[in-house]
Amino acid sequence: MTSAQTDDAFVEFDRVQKSYDGETLVVKDLNLTLPKGEFLTMLGPSGSGKTTCLMMLAGFETATHGDIRLGGKPINNIPPHKRGIGMVFQNYALFPHMTVAENLSFPLEVRKIGKDEREEKVQRALDMVQMGQFGGRRPAQLSGGQQQRIALARALVFEPELVLMDEPLGALDKQLREHMQFEITNLAHDLGLTTVYVTHDQTEALTMSDRVAVFDDGRIQQIAPPDTLYEEPGNSFVAQFIGENNTLEGVVTNMGADSCEVKLDSGDVIDAKPVNVSKAGERTRVSIRPERVEFNRDRLLSDAHTLKAHVKEFIYMGDIFRFRLSVAGNEDFIVKTRNAPDAVRLKAGQEIEIGWLAQDCRALDA
């Protein structure tokens, strides 16, 4: 096996299954390849199997079936301490009875690295996370954000090739979280780390990752770069889970090459892009992002279908406006517009017509 091949498949899950009780599968047939240097996020609701996958990779859980390979070698039978994987835990797991420097020194000590080199590496790791002055403190004397940085530094100090992060920002407040997202991403790219990041926060997933694997029901529903994931969700779960989404249900009536017509249950007909439908007569659930809905007739194609909408609510959010509409039986149809100088402020009770470009409306599985 050449090194180029192992770089492309640095981490590999091959038909991995996991069951705790022998009756239900928590992870069902997981296949995943991760090239070296990639930042991959596992995103999903709780109980979707993403943390179990991470724990199997770290070695704290064993796969019931299938192989996990790291750098081309199966690691199923390698105990966690020999895998050389750095890990950042949800609550940091900084050892409370050791100082920050001792925490960082721990992985180096167990690797029998000499004192001088150890101290140098610890200091370098602390500087890397801008915590150079805090070596003598105890974890309890640090703020949440500082603890987070130390946890990160500890996971990186022994220069692992793979870093796992289990919801590392879950305990921080919003502002600090956004700041740390930025720092972690920068660090990962600067050091060329291969990172597997677990979160249930989709903003985190979208802003930080090279690729995102959306988990549900023990399977990867879609694995794709963030923009693809958001703009081209592969199924209605992903569409619903990532970002805000409007759905309408109906039956495909007219199938074209890259566009189709869908007759909604309310009787209206709309244009959509077929994704998970192949022929007329199939039931479908169409998905359209709130910011892609247009109510200025002039900006739509002349032959585009439009829907009548009733404005239920106008919500002012500063940078954007949010409208809640009643459309084709959906009482929670959301439309967003940017707060531009010429933006129209619709009022509750107004009757309008809405439409969209066919490629923005995706006909997915029912």
Partner 1 sequence: MNDQSMKAAMERGDGPMLAADGTPLKKSLARALRMQKIRALLLVAPLLIFVLLTFLAPIADMLFRSVENQIVSETLPGTTATLDDWEAGEGLPPEPVWRAFYFDLFLAAEAKEHTRLGSRLNYEFTGMSSLFRGAGRGIDDIGEDQAAAIIELDPRWEEGGFWHDLMSGTGDADVRFLDARRDRLERLTGDRYDGDIGFSPGAAVVDLLPLTARAYTDWALYTVLADGDAVIEVTPWEAVPVALFLDLRAADAAAVSGYDGPGRGDLFVAMLAARSSDPIDFRQSFIDLDEDFAIPTIWETIQTYSNRFTPGYFLNAVDLQLTPDGVSARDAGQRIYIVLFQRTMFMSLLITFSCILLGYPVAWILANLPMRVANMLMILVLLPFWTSLLVRTSAWKVMLQQQGVINDTLVWLGLVDDAARLVMINNQFGTIVAMTHILLPFMILPLYSVMQTIPPSYVRAAKSLGATNMTAFWRVYFPQSVPGIGAGSILVFILAIGYYITPEIVGGTKGVFISNRIAYHISASLNWGLGAALGTILLAAVLILYWAYDKVVGIDNVKLGG
Taking CB under 8 A as the rule, does residue 96 contact partner 1? Answer: yes
Span near partner 1 by CB under 8 A; candidates 107-115, 180-188, 258-266, 294-302? 107-115
Helix (H, G, I), strand (E, B) or coil at 330: strand
In our burial notation (b when 16+ CB lie closer than 10 A, e otherwise), range 19-33 reads: beeeeebbbbebebe
Span near partner 1 by CB under 8 A; candidates 76-84, 169-177, 263-271, 337-345? 76-84
Span near partner 1 by CB under 8 A; candidates 79-87, 269-277, 295-303, 353-361? 79-87
Compare residues 97 and 338 and give the one whose CB is closer to partner 1. 97
Taking CB under 8 A as the rule, does residue 338 contact partner 1? Answer: no
Give the whole-angstrom CA distance, residue 249 versus residue 266: 9
Taking CB under 8 A as the rule, does residue 139 contact partner 1? Answer: no
Cβ atoms of residues 196 and 10 within 8 Å: no
DSSP 37: T
Give the burial class of 345: count Cβ atoms within 10 A of its Cβ; 0-12 exposed, 13-18 middle, 19 or more buried.
exposed
Taking CB under 8 A as the rule, does residue 106 contact partner 1? Answer: yes
How many chain residues are in contact with partner 1, going by CB under 8 A?
27
Q: Considering the complex, what minimum distance in angstroms separates the CB of residue 81 from partner 1?
A: 5
Taking CB under 8 A as the rule, does residue 141 contact partner 1? Answer: no
Compare residues 82 and 338 and give the one whose CB is closer to partner 1. 82
Q: Which of 22, 46, 79, 114 binds partner 1 (CB under 8 A)?
A: 79
Q: Give the CA angle between residues 149, 170, 187 to the nearest 5°.
A: 35
Please enumerate, as own/partner, the contacts of 259-267 that have beta carbons within 8 Å and a separation of 24 or more: 259/358, 259/359, 260/363, 261/305, 262/286, 262/363, 264/328, 264/329, 265/328, 265/329, 266/328, 266/329
DSSP 355: B
Q: Which of 49, 66, 71, 107 binds partner 1 (CB under 8 A)?
A: 107
Compare residues 70 and 155 and give the one whose CB is closer to partner 1. 155
Give the binding site for partner 1 (CB under 8 A). Answer: 58-60, 79-87, 89-91, 93, 95-97, 106-107, 110-111, 154-155, 158, 164
